[in-house]
């Protein structure tokens, strides 16, 4: 897809999650919409020109209608991605998930069982993600698989250890990219724990500079808070949001109650403001 024509939203389709990650910025006080409502939202997003959706959460695979939404998103010709902790992915559903989601991104912050346990991911998080990556490589070689990792004060400085552990394992398992995200205390638990988990912009930039001189088998990118501010987000209750300076700004309170033209105007306005920051990848 031509990046100039990309109109992307991150859809946090549910507040539910089986993990208790200490830095999570999911919505804590919103209720999920019904599948019927979300189908209306999906069609309005399509009519508003959206051509890429990443389903996230919460844990999107805990939303009862996620498969139906993804099927319809594909039918509408929208590039459909997912970010998941991987706990609901297994040998029985992996091929369906590959069919529905053009890119699968797993969340993983460390190879260390101790760090993963303390962060709320679970001690076996790394081993399970590695298993899933190998499973996809065996059943659907070439499918786009990525890793997202959040950098907090708790795991700062471990990124080289993580990359070292992954060089042989995940490159062989077909992972194409690892993204390190700067901890973003915008809402939920993340906002509550800002003082204990935040790292400075200078610390994050130092990690980026460290990695810039190394060559990996996979792409390694670092996304700071300025990048996260560019997201156009659909929240679990069906609101359209953007963020800036650690605060959410509601563009539309309820997508189901506005016309597709109003929705398009809001999304186009968001991208007009953020265009100078470059395309999403």
239 phi and psi angles, rounded to 5 deg? -90, 150
DSSP SS3 for 181: strand
Domain range for residue 193? 3-277
Residue showing tokens 């319809």: 72
Name the token pair of 6.
Answer: 């990309």
CATH number (domain holding residue 83) = 3.20.20.70
Give CA–CA dist 186/245, Å, rounded: 8
Q: List, for residues 64-80, the tens digit of each pLDDT value.
A: 999 999 999 999 999 99
Give CA–CA dist 206/187, Å, rounded: 26
The sheet with strand 103-107 has its strands ordered as: 219-223, 175-182, 144-151, 103-107, 79-84, 52-56, 8-12, 232-234, 240-244, 247-252
Name the token pair of 205.
Answer: 């930039």
Give the pLDDT confidence score for residue 168 in this predicted structure: 75
Q: List, for residues 170-216, the tens digit of each pLDDT value.
A: 777 888 888 999 888 777 777 777 888 888 889 999 988 888 766 66
Domain count, the chain: 1
Q: Contact at 8 Å (CB) between 201 and 225?
A: yes
Q: List, for residues 249-262, the tens digit of each pLDDT value.
A: 899 999 999 999 99
- Please report, in tens digits, the pLDDT of each residue of the chain (281 residues total): 555 677 999 999 999 999 988 887 777 778 999 999 999 999 999 999 999 999 998 999 999 999 999 999 999 999 999 999 999 999 999 999 999 999 999 999 888 898 888 888 899 999 999 999 999 999 999 999 999 999 988 888 888 888 887 777 877 788 888 899 988 877 777 777 788 888 888 999 998 888 876 666 678 888 887 776 678 999 999 999 988 777 788 999 999 999 999 999 999 998 888 776 544 44
- Read off the pTM: 0.91
């Amino acid at each position: 897809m031509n990046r100039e024509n990309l109109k992307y939203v991150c859809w946090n389709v549910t507040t539910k999650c089986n993990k208790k990650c200490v830095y999570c910025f999911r919505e804590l006080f919103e209720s999920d919409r019904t599948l019927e409502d979300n189908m209306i939202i999906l069609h309005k997003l399509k009519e508003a020109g959206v051509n890429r959706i990443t389903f996230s959460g919460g844990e999107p695979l805990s939303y009862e209608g996620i498969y139906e939404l993804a099927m319809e998103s594909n039918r509408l010709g929208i590039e459909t991605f997912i970010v998941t902790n991987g706990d609901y992915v297994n040998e029985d559903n992996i091929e369906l998930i590959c069919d529905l989601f053009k890119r699968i991104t797993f969340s993983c912050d460390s190879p260390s069982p101790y760090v993963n346990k303390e962060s709320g991911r679970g001690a076996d998080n790394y081993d399970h993600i590695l298993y899933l990556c190998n499973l996809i490589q065996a059943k659907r070689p070439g499918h786009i698989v990525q890793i997202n990792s959040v950098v907090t004060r708790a795991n700062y400085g471990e990124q080289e250890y993580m990359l070292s552990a992954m060089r042989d394992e995940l490159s062989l398992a077909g992972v194409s990219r690892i993204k390190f995200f700067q901890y973003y205390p915008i809402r939920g638990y993340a906002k509550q724990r800002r003082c204990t988990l935040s790292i400075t912009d200078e610390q994050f930039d130092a990690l980026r500079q460290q990695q810039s001189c190394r060559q990996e088998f996979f792409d390694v990118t670092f996304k700071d808070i300025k990048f996260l501010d560019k997201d156009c987000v659909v929240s679990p209750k069906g609101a359209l949001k953007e963020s800036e300076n650690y605060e959410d700004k509601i563009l539309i309170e309820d997508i189901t109650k506005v016309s597709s033209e109003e929705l398009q105007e809001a999304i186009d306005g968001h991208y007009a403001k953020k265009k100078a920051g470059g395309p999403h990848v």
